[in-house]
A = this chain, B = another copy of it.
């Protein structure tokens, strides 16, 4: 039985992105899982790719491709857009990162390998992004599609608003 998607896989914290937690620890766990999964899949987690995932994992924010690129360039990797885009594309294809279309940005997947299709809650104040449990939402979406005979291949469900902390501060 898969564990609760709304909790940290390791420490069990709820609403991972927005809750205070030992982030270094959480990032480390996710990175390790991603590397193991890549290995299993015969995909090569090269230095750039790993570094990009690490960058995304540094916090729970969504970063634009050019933000990532800037970091890479500063660290001696290539400094042209394709370098960042290709690594990000690899991560997304393998489920190690998500593309958040609302903000033209990318965020590390917190539950790699769990074959989920999450909804994203994006705090407009602090920019943090949470992957919320999506099963009921997906079910409703599938039902709506099925009702008119539409077959869904990929979908994105994204919400902009305020996280608990920022709402409290306001």
Contact = CB atoms under 8 A, between A and B. Distances in A.
The quantity of this chain's copies bound in the complex is 2
Interface string A77-101: 0000000000000000000000001
* Size range of the chain A interface in the assembly: 35 or more
Interface string A146-164: 0111111111111111111
Interface of A: 6, 14-15, 18, 101-102, 119, 121, 123-124, 130, 132-134, 136-137, 139-141, 143-145, 147-164, 167
13 contacts: A18-B149, A18-B150, A101-B158, A121-B144, A121-B148, A123-B150, A130-B150, A132-B144, A136-B143, A137-B141, A145-B159, A150-B159, A156-B156
